Amino acid sequence: MKWLLRAVSGCLALTVLPLAAHTSAEQGPEMIGSLIEISLVFLLLALLLLRHYRRRKEKALTEQTQLLSAMIESLPDIVAYKDKEGVYQLFNSHASQFFGLTARERTGRRDEDIFDPVTCKLIRHQDRDARQRRSQTRHEAWLENAEGNKVLLECYRQPMFDAAHTYIGLVFLCRDITQSRQQQENLEYLARHDTLTGLINRNMLHEQLNFALQMTRRNNECIALVFIDLDRFKDINDSLGHNIGDLLLRDVAHRLKSNLRDSDICARIGGDEFVIALSQVEEEHVQEKCDQLLQKIAQPYHLQGHLLTVCASAGIAISPQHGNSAESLMLHADAALNRAKAQGRNCSYVYSEKLTINQHNQLSLEQDLRKAYAGNEFQLVFHPQWRTGNARPERVEALIRWPHKTRGMVSPHEFIPLAETTGMIMELGLWVLRTSCLQFLHWREEGLMLEKIAVNVSAMQINSRFADTVENILRELNFDPHWLELEVTESLMMSGITEVSQQVHKLRELGVEFSIDDFGTGYSSL
């Protein structure tokens, strides 16, 4: 016989093989005795090796268990295991600290020993849901920690099953998400609110207004949308600084909010523009309520040693007659606001369809104005000016005219204000100046020796570059500055604005003459 010691599937095995048949009869007894001794030695060796292997396996298993336990203990999250009887068999250190459990209390506890009855009922319901689903579930819950603070936990439950698919318990992993949820809510708040005043912003206004419109349609009620804009707010920012302007906006927002009902909507949509939605209000009382708000705004403000009084204008659109959507109401309320400002400010105006017609006409006129400038459709007419007793004119005044192809002659009183509001007055004014100077030079070449040519200047043209621009045109045309007279309005010359004074002084030093146009009226045109 022959013995071989070998490993089979990780275990030791002793294999007996037959020897050759040439063993002699005399050697039989002795050989058998030796073989028994050898067999016992090999068997003992196999047992020792098997024991050593088992110890190594147990040691590895112990090390793995210790490593897993250390990992669970080091987690900054709550980890717990509850068996099928509802008894907690494991709490990691963070869980013990959170619930205020001692080392002896980390096992053998039930839900009733840790949580209040309402929470226990909720936990049992969620445990049952995880068992029935036989898969991981996620829930959020506000729980009280050992210090008595409410904490928002994000909890995962994993049901455990043995090889026979029998339920044996639940593993819990819970994470504190209180801070991250607060950060998320802060971001959502900033996305929906104005950071300066705390009022809702344009995005949130659309959401709330659309919902309010749905409710009013369902209840057969009306809702009034009011656009409020502070009059001459830019002057306060420019003269006193943006800090005072911000304080003023906060106070205005507070006055508006404190004089509205909880069911009303109050928003700031940018700059000094506020929007109010009045629900469950009678149509005939809307303007009265709006005027009351304007009176509240007009009361004095005490801001860092400054006593300020500011007025506001308001435009009103009422649903359903002025629109059934947030977009249409806001569009019409804005049109009414522009009308209120045009009427002299510090007043309210209710929308009418005429405003839309006027807006369309203004938009069409603006498009025609741009086409006319690009197509060189404007003309200049020159009014001669005589000195008493002289037969020949000494000066001329250049006036712009617009012969429209379909509208006929468009009055400067109509298109000059439009050019100012659209910013085209800068280009148009420079065209008038250059063309007038060229015509004046042409007359002098033809022998008509005029002293000066007068050109009207809009207040919108006089900025920090005005004097340099005029000087460059005169130098380019080789035009003597003493030949030019610029006519400005009385209100502009009396405004006391430093920028205007500097530009006028610089041009006067060149030799340009200034005169007051429309003296006593405060109105100018080109």
At 327-376, the pLDDT tens digits run: 999 999 998 998 898 887 888 988 887 777 777 777 888 898 999 899 99
Q: Rounded distance, CA 374 to CA 366, Å?
A: 12
Structure tokens at 460: 């919108």
Q: Flag whether 208 is in a domain.
A: yes
Q: Are residues 344 and 392 in the same domain?
A: no
Q: Are residues 330 and 433 in the same domain?
A: no
pLDDT score, position 413: 86
Is 50 exceeded by the pLDDT of residue 10? Answer: no
Q: Are residues 411 and 295 in the same domain?
A: no
Boundary-marking domain end, from 47, 68, 89:
68
Q: Are residues 264 and 399 in the same domain?
A: no
Domain count of the chain? 4
Question: The dihedral of CA 172, 178, 179, 181: what is its sign?
Answer: positive
Under 8 Å between Cβ of 315 and 337: yes
Q: Are residues 64 and 79 in the same domain?
A: no
- Ranked by mean pLDDT, the top range of 186-190, 282-286, 457-461 is 186-190
Q: Output the average pLDDT for the chain.
A: 84
- The CATH number covering residue 122 comes to 3.30.450.20
Q: Flag whether 288 is in a domain.
A: yes
Q: Flag whether 130 is in a domain.
A: yes
Q: Are residues 414 and 494 in the same domain?
A: yes
Q: Are residues 80 and 201 in the same domain?
A: no
- The CATH number covering residue 211 comes to 3.30.70.270
Q: Flag whether 263 is in a domain.
A: yes
Dihedral Cα 101, 104, 106, 108, nearest 10 deg:
-120
Q: Which of 48, 54, 46, 50 is nearest to 14 (CA)?
A: 46
pLDDT band, very low/low/confident/very high, at 483 (cuts 50, 70, 90): very high
Q: Are residues 163 and 202 in the same domain?
A: no
Count the residues in the chain.
526
The number of beta carbons lying within 10 Å of the beta carbon of residue 358 is 14
Q: Are residues 36 and 95 in the same domain?
A: no
Predicted model pTM: 0.58
Task: For residue 102, give its domain range.
Answer: 75-180
Query: Which of 44-48, 100-104, 330-334 is predicted least confidently?
Result: 44-48
Q: Flag whether 459 is in a domain.
A: yes
Q: Are residues 388 and 497 in the same domain?
A: yes
| Cα-based distances in Å from 68 to 79, 92, 93 | 12, 11, 14
Q: Are residues 202 and 346 in the same domain?
A: yes
Per-residue model confidence as pLDDT tens digits over 265-296 = 999 999 999 999 998 888 888 989 999 999 99
Boundary-marking domain end, from 156, 180, 204:
180
Average pLDDT score over residue span 476-505: 80
pLDDT band, very low/low/confident/very high, at 385 (cuts 50, 70, 90): confident
Is 60 exceeded by the pLDDT of residue 197? Answer: yes
Q: Are residues 197 and 327 in the same domain?
A: yes
Q: Which of 367, 483, 376, 464 is nearest to 419 (CA)?
A: 367
Boundary-marking domain end, from 300, 323, 351:
351
pLDDT score, position 7: 45
Under 8 Å between Cβ of 264 and 279: yes
